[in-house]
Amino acid sequence: MQKVLSYFSDKVTGKTIGVWGLSFKPETDDMREAPSVPVIKALVSAGAKVRAYDPQAIEEAKSHFRGLSEIIYTKNKYDAADDANALLLITEWKEFRSPDFEELRKRMKSPVIFDGRNQYSVPTLTNNGFTYFQVGVSPAV
């Protein structure tokens, strides 16, 4: 959250943030201790709207985010990026490893990715026109 808030100068109010991965780990719908829960709650508390996608955990996530109308659950990963000011990769599902970056960039309002799994190549993202932040890695590119 610190990198996201810093990037947006502590003002995410009215911003749309795409989120890839809701579950604690890939290949499961387990939401116990999932990092997506505090991150999404903090984004919503700060005034952001969230477009979230997970291959298996959406139904389970709905119980964790009950009453939060600022969250839209999407049917696929690209829909989560529609009109997003940034995209957060939280869970390292296989389907997130090699996205079509051109398609992703077209759908996003701003081509900004915060990668909580550090699974993308810095040159690949920057060559595709993205501002790319790796979580736990400094300095951000």
- Per residue, the 3-state secondary structure of 2-51, as one string, reads HHHHHHCCCCCCCCEEEEECCCCCCCCCCCCCCCHHHHHHHHHHCCCEEE
pLDDT at site 139: 54
For residue 76, is it left (φ>0), alpha (ψ between -120 and 50) or beta?
beta
The Cα 114–Cα 128 span in angstroms is: 15
Could you give all domains of the chain from N- to C-terminal order, each with its CATH number?
Answer: 2-134 (3.40.50.720)
- One digit per residue, the tens of pLDDT, for the chain of length 141 reads 889 988 998 799 999 999 999 999 999 999 999 999 999 999 999 999 999 999 999 999 999 999 999 999 999 999 999 999 999 999 999 999 999 999 999 999 999 999 999 999 999 999 999 999 998 776 544
pLDDT at site 138: 64
